[in-house]
Amino acid sequence: MAAPQWRCSRMETFTTPKEFVENPGYLLDRQEILEVLDLRGIDQPIVELIEGFALLPQCFTLQSCCGHFLYTPRQDSHNLERLPSRYDGQVNYRIAYVAFCLENSPRGWALRDSLELIPQIEPDYVQFGSADWFWERYFNSYVLQVEPVRYKTKDQVVIEHSEALYIEEIRDQFFIRLRELLKSCLSES
């Protein structure tokens, strides 16, 4: 099975979360993915998060993106700068997300249950589900994403600056919550 790309990529196949299925190839898939994991291809603000999840035997990450806000012509598509508080125009938002493959085991089920709670941050802007593109390659794969719910099947959208500022705050809370979950999982290991 080909290794996934570690940079942000198109996700436009987001669906409701699928039920766990048997996956006898989980351990081999996990080993293969961890062997090709290139932390240089991960957005710097979330490198330690992806490194941490790699330590959990009940999961491995498939792709991630810290979310990017583009508001000037020819701006780097992987821009990591915060939005300016004053700006009169629209913003192209590339979604923040983490895609996981989970082990079909009690530890994997518990992690999924915890991941499903993260959208409580702001259900209109944070979703948990599956993405067909990932599921076709890795059974029991799930995605957490920060995206206005009206655009939940899109990987990037053009929005007003005021909404982009709000999404930036939600995105920050999203990654804080993921870090807290990771810390809890690591302490239980």
138-157 pLDDT, tens digit per residue, is 999 999 999 999 999 999 99
> In this structure, what are the phi and psi dihedrals at residue 139, rounded to the nearest 5 degrees?
-60, 155
Q: What is the pLDDT of residue 2?
A: 38
Residue 133's pLDDT is 87
Say whether pLDDT at 163 is over 50: yes
Q: Is the pLDDT of residue 75 over 60?
A: yes
Domain annotation covers residue 59: yes
Residue in 177, 99, 183 with CA at minimum distance from that of residue 140: 99
Kindly state whether residue 2 falls inside one of the protein's structural domains.
no
Q: Is residue 7 part of a domain?
A: no
Indicate the pTM of the whole model. 0.91
Structural domain contains residue 98: yes
Examine residue 5 and state whether it is found in any structural domain, yes or no: no
Average pLDDT value for residue range 184-188:
94
- The helix/strand/coil state of 161 is helix
The pLDDT-based confidence of 9 (bands split at 50, 70, 90) is very low
Does a structural domain hold residue 9?
A: no
* Rounded (10°) angle between helices 161-188 and 106-117: 150
Taking only the tens place, the pLDDT of each residue in 22-74 is: 999 999 999 999 999 999 999 999 999 999 999 999 999 999 999 999 999 88
Q: What is the domain range of residue 160? A: 14-76+87-188
Total domains, the chain: 1
Whether residue 169 lies inside any domain: the answer is yes
Decide if 156 is inside a domain. Answer: yes
Give the chain's end-to-end CA distance (angstroms, integer): 29
pLDDT band with cut points at 50, 70 and 90 for residue 189: confident
Average pLDDT, the chain: 92
Q: In this structure, what CATH number is given to the domain that contains residue 114? A: 3.30.1960
Question: How much is the pLDDT for 60?
Answer: 97
Asked whether 176 and 121 are in contact (CB, 8 A), the reply is no
Q: Is the pLDDT of residue 13 over 90?
A: no
Distance CA 137, CA 130 (A): 12
3-state secondary structure 22-88: CCCCHHHHHHHHHHHCCHHHCCHHHHHHHHHHCCCCCEEEEEEEEEEEECCCCCCCCCCCCCCCCCC
pLDDT at residue 12 in the model: 53
Q: Which residue has the higher pLDDT, 160 or 188?
A: 160
